[in-house]
Amino acid sequence: MLELTDLILLFVVCWFGWYTLRVARIKEITVNAVRRRCEADGLQLLDGTIALYKLSLGRDRSGWVRVRRIYGFEFTATGEDRNSGLVSVLGNRLEAIELSPHRI
């Protein structure tokens, strides 16, 4: 027979698994968006990855509180330099991609 503590523990484990998969999916979508932006601007995304820079709360257009994730990444315009950029995601919605000044 399951006790209340067992049910709570099962719920926490299931929630943690769901949350981990959701965060991984958001990061995958964000990497693809950054890659498309770099290709459109004639840039190369270095290392093909992004890294979590900041985590905070923010309100979406409907007024709901969501988790805001800001990821950092590096790109190059000439193949010789490394430039940094930031991408902001609120909930599962992409807010903005910012690129540092770079050579064309």
pLDDT tens digits in sequence order for the chain, 104 residues long: 778 898 999 999 999 999 999 999 999 999 999 999 999 999 999 988 899 999 999 999 999 999 999 999 999 988 888 999 999 999 989 999 999 887 77
Tell me, what's the pLDDT at 48?
85
CA-wise closest residue to 74 among 48, 97, 94, 52:
48
Predicted TM-score (pTM) above 0.75: yes
**Spatial separation of the C-alpha atoms in residues 75 and 91, rounded to whole Å:** 25
6 CB neighbour count, 10 Å cutoff: 10
- What is the model's pLDDT at position 26? 93
Q: Determine the pLDDT at residue 104.
A: 72
